[in-house]
């Protein structure tokens, strides 16, 4: 972690991050985590830089040692209605408001803060710079990945177990063959392109 520091006299810093802005399917999931200053968690980092095994191991430590944490989401229907950016910000608000103990300050990964009542700042590449954001990144990633594995069983054929909803070549080919599932984001162009022939065939 680099030298980023919150303002002085902050006792409860919440880190916030999202997972799932880019996929073609599934909810966008956010997490908010408040860590104690004396936690003993080693190896916190951007979830994307960790192996699945490392994330699972760290996830267990985070939920055991965190002062509190909260997981929230925006649904596929909300993403299609409001767009992915607004849905992500909405999910972040839900995550922070869901904390059992409210924070003094909120550090959000990225370059944009939601509109809310909290003091805080957006930290570019914060998932690799702020431990609480790294923890939130890991929690959100583990939760969303598990959900997409479950969706693979419910909607087989798209490869959700491995691609987690991202637009891999195999996923795009499955979209062409099978059309969209109920958890596909219909406003995302690769999904929309495969809906148009279906819609025209119904006319």
- State the pLDDT confidence band at 176, using cuts at 50, 70 and 90: very high
Asked if residue 171 lies in contact with residue 159, where contact means CB atoms within 8 angstroms, the answer is: yes
Residue 186 lies in a domain: yes
Asked if residue 43 lies in contact with residue 54, where contact means CB atoms within 8 angstroms, the answer is: yes
Domain that holds residue 17: 13-153
Euclidean distance between CA atoms 91 and 114, whole angstroms: 9
The pLDDT value given to residue 196? 62
Query: Taking 90 as the threshold, does the pLDDT of residue 87 lie above it?
Result: yes
Q: Could you tell me the two tokens for 123?
A: 């930290």
Q: Same domain for 88 and 184?
A: no
User: Which CATH number does the domain housing residue 50 bear?
Assistant: 3.30.420.10
Give the residues across from 15 on adjacent strands.
33, 107
Q: Same domain for 116 and 47?
A: yes
Calculate mean pLDDT across residues 96-116.
Answer: 97
Q: At CA 121, angle to CA 63 and CA 71, rounded to 5?
A: 30
What Å distances lie between residue 30 and 109, 142, 172, CA to CA? Answer: 11, 11, 26
Residue 1 lies in a domain: no
Tens of pLDDT along 25-48?
999 999 999 999 999 999 999 999
Close Cβ partners of 163 (under 8 Å, ≥ 6 residues apart): 170, 171
List phi, psi (to 5°) of 12. Answer: -130, 95
Q: Could you tell me the two tokens for 25?
A: 């399917």
Tens of pLDDT along 117-175?
999 999 999 999 999 999 999 999 999 999 999 999 999 999 999 999 999 999 999 99
The pLDDT value given to residue 203? 36
Euclidean distance between CA atoms 137 and 155, whole angstroms: 26
Euclidean distance between CA atoms 56 and 141, whole angstroms: 10
- Give the Cβ contact number of residue 104 at 10 Å: 16
Euclidean distance between CA atoms 153 and 151, whole angstroms: 5
Calculate mean pLDDT across residues 63-72.
Answer: 98
Q: Same domain for 46 and 30?
A: yes
The pLDDT value given to residue 26? 98
- Give the Cβ contact number of residue 14 at 10 Å: 29
| pTM score, whole prediction | 0.94
Q: How many domains does the chain have?
A: 2
Q: Same domain for 82 and 170?
A: no
């Amino acid at each position: 972690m680099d030298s980023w520091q919150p303002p002085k006299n902050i006792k409860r810093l919440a880190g916030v991050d999202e997972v799932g802005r880019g996929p073609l399917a599934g909810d966008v999931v956010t997490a908010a985590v408040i860590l104690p200053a004396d936690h003993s968690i080693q190896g916190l980092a951007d979830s994307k830089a960790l192996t699945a095994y490392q994330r699972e191991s760290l996830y267990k430590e985070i939920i055991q040692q965190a002062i509190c944490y909260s997981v929230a989401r925006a649904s596929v229907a909300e993403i299609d209605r409001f767009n992915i950016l607004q849905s992500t910000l909405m999910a972040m608000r839900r995550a922070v408001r869901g904390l059992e103990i409210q924070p003094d300050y909120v550090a959000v990964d990225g370059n944009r803060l939601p509109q809310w009542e909290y003091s805080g700042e957006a930290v570019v590449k914060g998932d690799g710079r702020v431990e609480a954001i790294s923890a939130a990144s890991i929690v959100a990633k583990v939760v969303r990945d598990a959900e997409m594995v479950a969706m693979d069983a419910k909607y087989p054929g798209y490869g959700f177990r491995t691609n987690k909803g991202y637009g891999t070549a195999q996923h795009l080919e499955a979209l062409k063959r099978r059309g969209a599932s109920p958890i596909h984001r219909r406003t995302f162009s690769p999904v929309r392109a495969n809906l148009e022939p279906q819609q025209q065939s119904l006319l």
